[in-house]
Chain A
């Protein structure tokens, strides 16, 4: 056994005491090592929100009312539903939700907590279904239409179609059900004026016609992120010059993934959101092959958002989700999850990119518990996360809904995630560490 001070003599009895003390030191070290190993291999994560300091950067989430109304001083009216999201990765199998109430307020009674897991944007409330994208050419029961201002405008005859120059092979076959999701506009009776959202191509440039003005796409790639190549009517430059061309160019479709230099971005309206890192890109369900490298001209069309797109950011407008278990399409718009009712309709919105895979099971309640201070005395309750949820369900967000049968005034909300010590979790943790080592040493020159 180790003795760093052999030169210091001790009589036999005292030396035994030293050995016991030494064993205590090493036992303590072993216990500290075990504690650290447990923290590293089976981590716990704590998220907090303080109503006393709602703007603090230390808050891990921001609770909101389901109906969108403003939350004041932690006072929550009975029956009102509040929710919050926590983004994290790992095999967390338990989460304890603790509510701290104002001591001057009555005890917490029948406070129900429900948990769901998916991507934050996929947990948005469902909005109205969306029909075909404006500009789409559709055929149904032998009739030909263009979707213009969210309405089907039927072409009066085949001659009108050929006079306009619309290629017949660009018309998408739609079922009767598909035709229910857009309104019906006026029949196009002659070929005097092009309908809104007609698309033209001249000298390798693409234009879309709207309200008598042509809007040019910034590039072919930007055009192809929104429409098919064969949808554009081939014209010469003199035709384009006969119209007013808007100064504002059109870019990539919302939700597109672009790369400029070494940075990746998600397109959201007039902004592009810088993606925090490669891990976030993967965590958010994006595919590397969907990234389009863009030029300086294309990049300058957008303003760069100040806030990074991180694991805790919801997917922006234009993101398209596809449920792997029920094959349903959804598009995010204005904090709503709007269904795309069929594959045909979805195909007009998702050009050149993959949908983000989700599971409809994750949007349902996975676990629930009730806080009842009178019976249990505590102001917290424990939710069990089923292994199927943390292992199989896509998404990094755990969303919690809290609703109380009585008025309550809270000062703090805490969500404390823990992992069970299991062989499977150990394996996952070790693989995770191995992945981190690889990513740390991977990009060597």
Chain B
């Protein structure tokens, strides 16, 4: 119980020095990057050789780790010292990330439908990406309206 309270106290907003919180927040980005890379590589490996990863480590464990990291990151992002920071160059990076994501999603989908007719395979990928794009647009629209 005492240990639990100590951990609880650690996460009280006032307990963090601004610089320590910034270091933790920056390092958490790296942790998240590593976890996402693991997840992507595991997804790809599973697609190529089914069972190669899942027989050693379940996908659920990686997903839970990513979720926990994101929750902790959002906690740090809302700390007073970090919340007020102004970010620049975000748009450019988002574009790059979206492109990388689209490419990876296309590869994964192509692989999962490998035994399908090539034209049908490519058409399904195009349709899926198009649906993804429109959903993204709708969400972006809502975001804009809210702000």
A4 to chain B: closest residue by CB: B29
Q: Given known contacts A7-B87, A29-B38, A40-B56, what 14 new A-B pairs fall within 8 Å (CB)? A: A5-B25, A5-B29, A7-B85, A8-B26, A14-B22, A21-B27, A25-B34, A28-B34, A36-B57, A40-B53, A440-B50, A443-B115, A444-B115, A445-B115
Verify if A433 is at the interface (C-beta below 8 Å from B).
Answer: yes
Verify if A239 is at the interface (C-beta below 8 Å from B).
Answer: no
A23 to chain B: closest residue by CB: B30
Interface string of B55-99 (1 = CB under 8 A from A): 011000000000000000000000000100111111000000000
Name the one of B30, B34, B48, B53 contacting A440, with C-beta atoms under 8 angstroms: B48
Are B34 and A10 closer than 8 Å at their CB atoms? no
Q: Return A10 CB to nearest CB of chain B, in Å.
A: 6
Q: Return A73 CB to nearest CB of chain B, in Å.
A: 33
Are A22 and B22 closer than 8 Å at their CB atoms? no
Verify if A437 is at the interface (C-beta below 8 Å from B).
Answer: yes
Contact residues, B28-58 vs A (CB, 8 A): 29-31, 33-34, 37-38, 48-50, 52-53, 56-57
Interface string of A399-441 (1 = CB under 8 A from B): 0000000000000000000000000000000000100110011
Q: Return B66 CB to nearest CB of chain A, in Å.
A: 14
Chain B residues within CB distance 8 Å of chain A: 19, 22-23, 25-27, 29-31, 33-34, 37-38, 48-50, 52-53, 56-57, 82, 85-90, 114-115, 117
Contacts of B25 in A (CB 8 A): 5, 8
A10 to B19, CA, bound (A): 7
Interface string of A10-53 (1 = CB under 8 A from B): 11001001100110011011001000100110000000000000
Contacts of B56 in A (CB 8 A): 36, 39-40
A-B residue pairs in contact (CB < 8 Å), sample of 17: A4-B26, A6-B89, A8-B22, A8-B26, A10-B22, A10-B23, A18-B27, A22-B26, A22-B30, A25-B27, A29-B34, A29-B37, A36-B56, A40-B56, A433-B49, A443-B115, A445-B115
A21 to B31, CA, bound (A): 10
Contacts across chains A and B counted by CB atoms under 8 Å: 73
Q: Return B117 CB to nearest CB of chain A, in Å.
A: 8
Are B30 and A2 closer than 8 Å at their CB atoms? yes
Are B19 and A25 closer than 8 Å at their CB atoms? no
Q: Contacts A7-B87, A436-B49, A443-B115: A26 and B30 contacting too (C-beta < 8 A)?
A: yes
Are B33 and A4 closer than 8 Å at their CB atoms? yes
B31 to chain A: closest residue by CB: A25
B24 to chain A: closest residue by CB: A21
Contacts of B48 in A (CB 8 A): 437, 440
Name the one of A22, A36, A39, A444 contacting B27, with C-beta atoms under 8 angstroms: A22
Q: Return A307 CB to nearest CB of chain B, in Å.
A: 22
Q: Return A264 CB to nearest CB of chain B, in Å.
A: 21
A10 to B23, CA, bound (A): 8
Name the one of A10, A440, A441 contacting B26, with C-beta atoms under 8 angstroms: A10
Contacts of B38 in A (CB 8 A): 29, 32
Contacts of A17 in B (CB 8 A): 23
A206 to B38, CA, bound (A): 64
B85 to chain A: closest residue by CB: A8
A443 to chain B: closest residue by CB: B115
Interface string of A151-190 (1 = CB under 8 A from B): 0000000000000000000000000000000000000000
Contacts of B19 in A (CB 8 A): 10-11, 14
Contacts of B30 in A (CB 8 A): 2, 4, 22, 25-26
Q: Return A171 CB to nearest CB of chain B, in Å.
A: 55
Are B57 and A18 closer than 8 Å at their CB atoms? no
A17 to B88, CA, bound (A): 23
Q: Contacts A10-B22, A29-B34, A36-B56: A441 and B27 contacting too (C-beta < 8 A)?
A: no
Contacts of A29 in B (CB 8 A): 34, 37-38
A17 to B30, CA, bound (A): 14
A28 to B30, CA, bound (A): 11
Are A7 and B88 closer than 8 Å at their CB atoms? yes
Contacts of A21 in B (CB 8 A): 23, 27
A403 to B19, CA, bound (A): 66
A295 to B68, CA, bound (A): 59
Contacts of A8 in B (CB 8 A): 22, 25-26, 82, 85
A3 to chain B: closest residue by CB: B26
Are A440 and B49 closer than 8 Å at their CB atoms? yes
A195 to B92, CA, bound (A): 94
Q: Return A34 CB to nearest CB of chain B, in Å.
A: 13
Q: Return B127 CB to nearest CB of chain A, in Å.
A: 21
Q: Return A1 CB to nearest CB of chain B, in Å.
A: 10
Q: Return B71 CB to nearest CB of chain A, in Å.
A: 18
Contact residues, A351-402 vs B (CB, 8 A): none
Are B114 and A444 closer than 8 Å at their CB atoms? yes
Contacts of B29 in A (CB 8 A): 4-5
Contacts of B49 in A (CB 8 A): 433, 436-437, 440
